Amino acid sequence: MKNWIKKNRKDIELWTVLIAMITLLLTTSSCSSIKVLPINTPIEDDSIDMEEFQPHYEYCKEFEYDAETWMECMMNEQIRRNNIRRLA
Between CA 8 and CA 68 the distance in angstroms is: 68
pLDDT of 4 reads 67
pLDDT of 88 reads 60
pLDDT of 19 reads 92
pLDDT of 74 reads 87
DSSP string, 16-30: HHHHHHHHHHHHH--
Q: What is the pLDDT along the chain (88 residues), one digit of tens a residue?
A: 677 667 777 777 888 889 999 888 877 776 666 677 677 766 666 566 677 778 888 888 888 888 999 999 888 888 888 877 776 6
Q: Could you give the C-alpha distances from 14 to 41, 46, 52, in angstroms and in order?
A: 48, 51, 63
Query: Domain spans of the chain?
Result: 50-87
What are the backbone dihedrals phi and psi of residue 86, each rounded to the nearest 5 degrees, phi first? -60, -40
Q: What is the pTM of this model?
A: 0.41
